[in-house]
Amino acid sequence: MSPIFYSFRRCPYAMRARLALQAAEQTVELREVVLKNKPAELLQVSAKATVPVLVLNNGRVIDESLEIMLWALSQYQAECQSAHEPQQKPPCWLAQEQGFDDQAMMLVKHNDGEFKANLDAYKYADRYPQSAEYYRQQGENFLFLLEQRLTAHRYLMSDQLSLADMAIFPFIRQFAHVDKTWFQQAPYPQLNVWFERLVNSDEFTQIMTKWKPWQADAEPAYFP
């Protein structure tokens, strides 16, 4: 049996979890969720009732996307160590050392905290007291930080793609999509190059396949 994975295609948290599962070659039973009509099975395993949720074969439930990424990393590392010919295991961005060190985790926490709050307010400004432009300017503090890092090297932590890049990228994508014209013309040229590289990458294209909403009586779907 494969672990069960509840996902929603357009959710940035679910995106980064799928990116990690794919990179680590961890096959899961994919259950695509309709957020307006969440299945009872999801509500039973996670009181949070949000995606992504990974239910392991031993019954353990992981309902935090970053924890799913780290679980995928642990499986990849374990398989590398147990392989008779580990050199034949393809290199994996998930296992880049600088992608999950303390500095990288601080950057991801900044993304998941302050930046995500400003992103939500920017995207749904009509629900908040300030204008969309105000929340965009607040979010730009993080964009400027990323631009500085990308001026020094190709990706956020080094010249190698890493967990930090893939954990943050889906949220930059969501920010960019609020006003694509503004984002493309904003004074963050290196961030734009990084963004275009990732949004057009095989890794991202492959995890954005459209799936039918899961139904209990349907044939199971598997990912990747």
pLDDT in tens, 177-216: 999 999 999 999 999 999 999 999 999 999 999 999 999 9
79 and 178 part of one domain = no
84 and 99 part of one domain = no
Q: What is the token pair recorded at 144?
A: 């400027």
Q: Tell me: pLDDT of 81 over 90.
A: no
86 and 106 part of one domain = no
d(CA 89, CA 80): 7
Q: Tell me, what CATH number does 145's domain have?
A: 1.20.1050.10
Quick: pLDDT tens for 21-60.
999 999 999 999 999 999 999 999 998 889 999 999 999 9
Q: How many residues does the chain have?
A: 224
* Residue with more model confidence, 169 or 85: 169
Q: What phi, psi does 53 have (nearest 5°)?
A: -135, 130
35 and 116 part of one domain = no
196 and 209 part of one domain = no
23 and 111 part of one domain = no
CB atoms within 10 A of CB 104: 22
Residue 218: enclosing H or E segment and its boundaries? none
130 and 195 part of one domain = yes
195 and 109 part of one domain = yes
Peptide bond into 52 cis (omega under 30): yes
Quick: pLDDT tens for 131-187.
999 999 999 999 999 999 999 999 999 999 999 999 999 999 999 999 999 999 999
d(CA 173, CA 195): 7
Task: Check residue 29 and give its pLDDT.
Answer: 98
130 and 174 part of one domain = yes
Q: Tell me, what CATH number does 13's domain have?
A: 3.40.30.10
Helices 132-152 and 102-110 cross at an angle (nearest 10°) of 160
What is the pTM assigned to this prediction? 0.94
56 and 148 part of one domain = no
Domain that holds residue 57: 4-92+205-223
